[in-house]
Chains A and B, each alone.
Chain A
Amino acid sequence: MLFTSLPFIVFVAALILVYYAFTPYKERWALLLMASLAFYFFADPRYLIFIGVTALTAYVFAIITEDYNAKRKAYLKANKESFDTDSKKKYKNTTARVTKLLMLLALLINLGILAVTKYTNFVIDTMNSWRTEPLSFVNIIVPMGISFYTFQTVSYSIDICRGTIKAQRNFLKFLLFVSFFPQLVQGPISRYEDLSQTLYEPKKFEFQNVSYGFMRILWGYFKKLVVADRLVIALKTLTESPDEYKGAYVFVVMMLYAAQLYCDFTGGIDITIGIAQMLGITVKENFNLPYFSKNIKEYWNRWHITMGTWFTDYIFYPLSVSPTMLKLSKWSRQHLGNAVGKRVTVYISCFAVWLATGIWHGAAWHFVVWGLMNFVVIMASQELEPVYAKFHGKFHLKEKKGYAIFEIARTFLLMSSLKLFDCYRDVGLTFKMFGSMFYTFNIGKLFNGSLLELGLTSADYEVAAIAIVFIFLVSLYKALIGEDIRVFLYQKYPLFVLVCVVLLVSTLVFGAYGAGFDASQFIYNQF
């Protein structure tokens, strides 16, 4: 189900009404669970089996682990006298090992389901490229949002193993954590410790929450319908005939896609967080003005934040501080010198993270290459840091205001170039198209009306441009004042209402929806 489909909007409106008007405060989580299951059921009843199995696995293993740990601990406490330091340590180690084993088993099942549903055909396709007798593809359904909810259960299982959270004993409540519907479409990837704080006992009806949430939803629809779904039409034309649109057009693709993806993705997150907020539930932010980043590392701390922190917490850290890695680090420092040795662990872990990030984004080689390109760029900028430092030491450019803008523009262009992999969806083609920017000099072509043949009229471009400027100004407000503009507007409530009306009406008028416009699927939908 799409965020922009009428049934979805009616569904959410009805839910909010029933939630506050007819559901006792203590039972509201149950209504949310029913709504989430219904959401899945209407999308495809078979999805329920997948999400049910995944939730049940994580749930059962968590309880077994916790009970086992508690029992062992109690035993240790009760029989304190019979243990000496050594045997105590041994006993504890056994506990830790079994706990870890249980966790790995849970991960094996849940990541296994993800791997089989999402990646089987990718593997077959890859194998076919060197087999003489091609294997036929298998027909497996990819449950909606499987990457998001699987990652949520994986982090839950790991946190249980680490002992940083308490297991949820009520299966239905746990199922709600896994299936909470607003985040099944485009994320974010919530952690149990964050979401559980408000999911089961949401805030009671609060006018401010509902108002903030409502405006956030409108803002999301505005970005999505007025900008993203409009630009996608031109992007489709440009990327479907790459031979025709080379050189300067590739730059146009970069710019349009940067705007389109941003509006589509952050718009979807706005809708998700807005719905949750209207329900009195706090969902973690997933973006923090990513296009204002001054370097690529910062960019990845601000774009799709919950995914970034997930990979850091559950792949990068465990891998780089694992005993093997620490040994490797020591060894390489002794044998390869301090400079190289220091880098080995970070390089290996970082490589693993970006490989996984690429694969996570989609079952296709261009995503893998995209992930690895990110790795290359991050490592290059890391290595260049001393050079920059020297440079700045000499020229003192850093203090100048213009330099910050240069850094922002540089990062934006770099990240937009990498996104070309996602536009052309073919590694070779992407490199070819990127290269064509430098040898096909056809900038003049952009100004002879050819941009009006991409499926958008000049009025479309004007509306999109005005909307983008508007979005930019709102972002700038947050960057400069450091506060969401809603806070300011809410203090002047009539203005708040007026802005809501303007957003709603202009989205309805200028949105690219209905006949004549193809409702484009959310880019992150099958994740």
Chain B
Amino acid sequence: MDELIEILKDLHSDVDFDTCTTLIDDKILDSFDIVSIVSEVNDRFDVAIPAKELVPENFNSAKALWDLISRLEED
């Protein structure tokens, strides 16, 4: 989780990713950010996030994103 927050902080240092739950809805993360995140996650966690998982629900908060990564790791 901490590593994930680190990835996110690299993109937007001014956002509190621990509490924010509207990263997509408030347009804090845009499509370019999402692609960067997927690429970083692939590097560090060796998890490939497929395109069908790139929906607001999975990216609105760091927690949701972490859950997604955990779920994909299990598969």
Contact = CB atoms under 8 A, between A and B. Distances in A.
Interface of A: 162-164, 297-298, 301, 312-313, 316-318, 320-323, 326, 329-330, 342, 345-346, 349-350, 382
A318 B35 contact: no
A321 B32 contact: no
Contacts, number: 48
B15 to A, nearest CB: 14
Interface string B37-50: 01100110000111
Nearest to A298: B27
A313 B39 contact: no
A346 B32 contact: yes
B43 A163 contact: no
A382 B32 CA distance: 10
A317 B35 contact: yes
Contact of B51 (A301, A321, A382): A321
Given A162-B52, A297-B30, A322-B51, 16 more contacts: A298-B27, A312-B31, A316-B31, A316-B35, A317-B31, A317-B35, A321-B35, A321-B39, A321-B48, A321-B49, A342-B36, A345-B35, A345-B39, A346-B35, A350-B32, A382-B32
Interface residues of B, number: 17
A320 B48 contact: no
Name the residue among A313, A321, A342 with the largest chain B CB count within 10 angstroms: A321
B34 interface: yes
Contact of B38 (A164, A321, A350): A321
A320 B38 contact: yes
23 contacts: A164-B52, A301-B27, A317-B34, A317-B35, A317-B51, A318-B51, A320-B35, A320-B38, A320-B39, A321-B35, A321-B38, A321-B39, A321-B49, A321-B51, A326-B39, A330-B42, A330-B43, A342-B36, A346-B32, A346-B35, A349-B35, A350-B32, A382-B32
Contacts of B31: 312, 316-317
B48 A326 contact: yes
A326 B41 CA distance: 10
Contact of B36 (A316, A318, A323, A346): A346
B28 interface: no
Ranked nearest first, the 3 interchain pairs of A and B with the lowest CB-CB distance are A162-B52, A318-B51, A320-B35
Interface of B: 27, 30-32, 34-36, 38-39, 42-43, 48-52, 54
B50 to A, nearest CB: 7
A321 B36 contact: no
Contacts of A301: 27
A392 to B, nearest CB: 12
Contact of B39 (A312, A317, A329): A329
A321 B30 contact: no
B51 A326 contact: no
Nearest to B27: A301
B49 to A, nearest CB: 6
A133 to B, nearest CB: 45
B27 A321 contact: no
B54 to A, nearest CB: 5
A316 B49 CA distance: 14
A330 B41 CA distance: 12
A321 B54 contact: yes
Nearest to A326: B42
Contacts of A318: 51
B50 A321 contact: yes
B54 A317 contact: yes
A325 to B, nearest CB: 8
A312 B27 CA distance: 15
Nearest to A320: B35
A314 B75 CA distance: 24
B39 A163 contact: no
Contacts of B54: 313, 317, 321
Contacts of A329: 39
Nearest to A342: B36
Contacts of B38: 320-321, 326
Name the residue among A297, A298, A323, A326 with the largest chain B CB count within 10 angstroms: A326
Contacts of A321: 35, 38-39, 48-51, 54
Contacts of A163: 52
A321 B58 CA distance: 15
Name the residue among A162, A312, A318, A320 with the largest chain B CB count within 10 angstroms: A320
Contacts of A312: 31
Contacts of A313: 51, 54
Contacts of A162: 51-52
Contacts of B36: 342, 346
A435 B46 CA distance: 51
Name the residue among B35, B42, B54 with the largest chain A CB count within 10 angstroms: B35
A316 B34 CA distance: 11
Contacts of A346: 32, 35-36
A349 B34 CA distance: 13
A347 to B, nearest CB: 10
Contacts of B43: 330
